[in-house]
Structure formats: structure tokens, C-alpha cells
Amino acid sequence: MPVLARNKKAYFDYEVLGKYEAGLKLLGHEVKAIKDFRISLKGSFVTLKQAEGKRLPELYLINAHVPLYKHAGNIKDYDPYRSRKLLLKKREIAYLVGKKQEQGLTLIPLKMYTKHSLLKLEFALAKGKKKFDKRENIKKRDLERRQREMLKKSVRG
């Protein structure tokens, strides 16, 4: 299960409440580009869009950058930031719709990986962190780093 892309800022900017896995509806050359590690999840998010004539909305990955595959040739009107539909079970979508309606919750992509020969997106139901929470995390990491350095020095010395 090699990880093809990670959203590094997700855990810093959000408090993850639950993780989910979804397939994606992609074009052939996009699959090849992604498997060639040419995808960026930076600044991307998952949104709900109500489809006409359907009871449940559909989930879409928005603002993920997948450049044109280098051996695909010249494909006219290709948008590397286009919306890509996520494939989930109706039961999962219904649950996420209910949770999304709670105030302050959002859906963010965490990583893209292969599972057998299929591409999967791991996304999370998350709550945005406040500025002071982020500062707390930075202080905590700094303290842990200093403790590790002190331990290394004491073991060597």
C-alpha cells in the first residue's frame, strides 16, 4: 500500500475526528499521473454537492492538483484542478451528511494510496484548530525534541 501523496498540513491545521476511505472517479491519464507520484493535496478539500434528481448528495474532491501525464500527448481543455467524484456507499454518505451539518466540521483529504491496483483517498471528518492550539502543538513538539536530544547526550556521555 504505497502512499502516493500526503496532506502534510492537515494534522497541524485540523483536529481529526474520524477517517474514511473512498475510491475516485478518474480519467485514465490521471490515474497514470497519480501512480507516477504527480499529485498534490495541498489546499484541497472534500465537499458535498446535491445532484439533480438524487436524494443524497455526492462527495467531490476539490482543488487537488493532478498535472497532465507526460506521455498522454496534448489533451485540450484539461483542467488539473477539476473536481473529482468520490465513490462511497450510500450509508457512509448519509452518515457524513449528518455529521457535516454539525457546526465547525469539515472534510479534508489526508493521503492518496494504492490498495491492490486501485487508487484510494483517505479523508477525515475534522474540526479546525484555533491559533492557540497550533502554538501549543509547536511548543509540545519543541519540548519533546529537546528531551530526545538530552537523552541522546546522557546516553553518549
Find out whether 4 and 64 touch, Cβ atoms under 8 Å.
no
Could you give the 3-state DSSP secondary structure of residue 57?
A: coil
Find out whether 46 and 59 touch, Cβ atoms under 8 Å.
yes
Residue 70 lies in a domain: yes
Residue 107 lies in a domain: yes
Residue 21 lies in a domain: yes
Find out whether 83 and 91 touch, Cβ atoms under 8 Å.
no
- Model confidence over 94-152: pLDDT tens digits? 888 888 877 778 889 999 999 988 999 999 988 887 776 678 778 888 888 888 888 88
Residue 155 lies in a domain: no
**Alpha carbons 74 and 78: distance in angstroms, whole number:** 9
Q: What type of residue is 7?
A: N
Percent of the chain past pLDDT 90, that is, above it, reads: 24
pTM (2 d.p.): 0.77
How many separate domains does the chain show? 1
Name the residue range of residue 116's domain: 3-129
Residue 61 sits in a domain of what CATH number? Answer: 2.40.280.10
Residue 153 lies in a domain: no
